[in-house]
């Protein structure tokens, strides 16, 4: 069953990334943001998969769901970030920093709530639940780091400051 579950989850995650990216591009009215959004959204997923492989954690039904859940949680913050920059007409690194200043506290608060809920499962007695909880907490924590440090840099690159002409 596990041998069939992992490829199925991998394909569902690929489809989720594609569908969500197209919807995000449509909502933000920008095709250039699609590859820009993939970077901070996929880094935590790949990092969690790498850590799980490095630690040789067993693949189970719950642990196979981590990638899809982390992607769903992180893409929300990324869309909020780019939408806020667009709504306020902010550009460049200054605009990205201003957006982080406004959205950083809600990002941290929601991440703390999600990680706190996941950490409770780490102390459970069922090993797949513990593994899932630990990987979810790690993934969501890495997602926050990406949203606070990588997303603003990418937003500044994709929305460069307009130079004032003399």
- The pLDDT value recorded for residue 75 is 84
- The pLDDT value recorded for residue 138 is 92
Supply the pTM of this predicted model: 0.80
Angle between helices 151-158 and 66-87 (to 10 degrees): 50
- The pLDDT value recorded for residue 165 is 47
**Among 54, 60, 53, 42, CA closest to 139:** 42
Sign of CA dihedral 112, 89, 95, 18: positive
Structure tokens at 19: 């569908």
Residue pLDDT tens, the chain, 166 long: 556 666 666 777 778 778 887 887 777 777 777 777 788 888 888 888 888 888 887 766 666 778 778 888 788 888 888 888 888 888 888 888 899 999 999 999 999 999 999 899 888 888 878 888 888 999 999 999 999 999 898 888 876 766 554 5
Structure tokens at 35: 């590859």
- The pLDDT value recorded for residue 5 is 63
Q: Are 114 and 44 in contact (CB under 8 A)?
A: no
- The pLDDT value recorded for residue 164 is 53
């Amino acid at each position: 069953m596990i041998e069939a579950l992992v490829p199925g989850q991998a394909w569902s995650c690929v489809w989720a990334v594609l569908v969500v990216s197209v919807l995000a591009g449509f909502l933000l009215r920008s095709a250039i943001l699609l590859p820009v959004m993939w970077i901070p959204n996929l880094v935590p997923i790949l990092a969690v998969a790498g850590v799980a492989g490095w630690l040789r954690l067993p693949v189970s039904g719950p642990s196979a769901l981590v990638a899809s859940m982390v992607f769903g949680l992180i893409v929300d913050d990324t869309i909020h970030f780019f939408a806020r920059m667009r709504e306020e007409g902010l550009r460049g690194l200054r605009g990205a920093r201003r957006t982080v200043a406004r959205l950083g506290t809600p990002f941290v608060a929601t991440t703390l709530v999600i990680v706190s809920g996941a950490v409770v499962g780490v102390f459970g007695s069922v090993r797949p639940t513990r593994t899932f909880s630990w990987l979810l907490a790690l993934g969501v924590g890495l997602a926050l780091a990406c949203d606070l440090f990588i997303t603003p840099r990418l937003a500044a690159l994709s929305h460069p400051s307009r130079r004032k002409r003399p």
